[in-house]
Amino acid sequence: MFTWILIIGGVLLFLGLAWTTIGMAPKGVDAEDVRNIKRDNAARGDYYGGAGM
């Protein structure tokens, strides 16, 4: 039973990653750029007005 949970979880994780990749690609949004922007904003303490998420 535990094996099936791992298999299903892995498939769902893979589908989720594929879905977000396909969803972001046509809009020209690079996930790495988004991460860098969030990191830089958090370092300055002005991301959504909070000093650290």
- pLDDT one-digit tens code per residue, 12-23: 888 887 777 666
Residue at 49 is within a domain: no
Domain count, the chain: 1
Residue 5 has pLDDT above 60, yes or no: yes
- pTM, rounded to two decimals: 0.38
Residue at 51 is within a domain: no
- The answer to whether 52 and 45 have CB atoms below 8 angstroms apart is yes
pLDDT of residue 3: 92
Residue at 18 is within a domain: yes
Report the C-alpha gap between 28 and 52 in whole angstroms: 27
Residue at 53 is within a domain: no
Which is more confident, 32 or 14?
14
Residue at 32 is within a domain: yes
Q: Which domain holds residue 20?
A: 2-44
Residue at 6 is within a domain: yes
